[in-house]
Structure 1
């Protein structure tokens, strides 16, 4: 695990997400247990469990009582969709800050509000903030 890459439980979750996206962990296949992840990464099992539970909360994994955790149907597409959205938001944010670093005319949230709702930022205020 990389100390500079954020919390360890989040790194565990990201690593499992990467395995799902690249196909090495297929839908409906069993995910590694928290004890397996803990032994592999030499971390506390509770930390590994927190990463797994984050994926359960996100709907990427689901639990089968007494059996383990499995990759949910549609998890790969869900992750790809989320990653595309996050990438688009980060690119808009980077582009806007490069073009008008101190101007408040165009902001990532106003662009996102317009894209999301089809309305200008003032009309869409309070509706949806994706970026």
Structure 2
């Protein structure tokens, strides 16, 4: 959904239609640039700081995107997309956090819950969109 919306927003903001998918590229670039440093930070320091950075970049990307829609600037949207990529890159680390914090006997179930939650979200998300499409 993020990639579809980024492409549609890029199409409406870009002066040249050829650049419509640049926000998607910025999301992937942000994820690529952040994955290794986030992994090192969470491994050497602590996961809590890595998840704080995730939240920070998610909020920063959201704020920049809101500002961008106010001023209608494609450049600001690319920056927001880059921050969103950092946010998305760190979601894979939740399974490691579940594994680290769960007791030995509960660890398999904790990992199953974390991984199954993505599947549940993939099923429920589109249904919520269908139910709320007339709200806005």
Q: TM over 0.5: same fold?
A: no
Q: Which has more strand, going by share of residues? A: 1
Taking structure 1 as the reference length, the TM-score comes to 0.29
Q: Which has the higher contact order (CA 8 A, sep 6+)?
A: 2
Q: Which has more helix, going by share of residues? A: 2
Q: Which has the larger radius of gyration?
A: 1
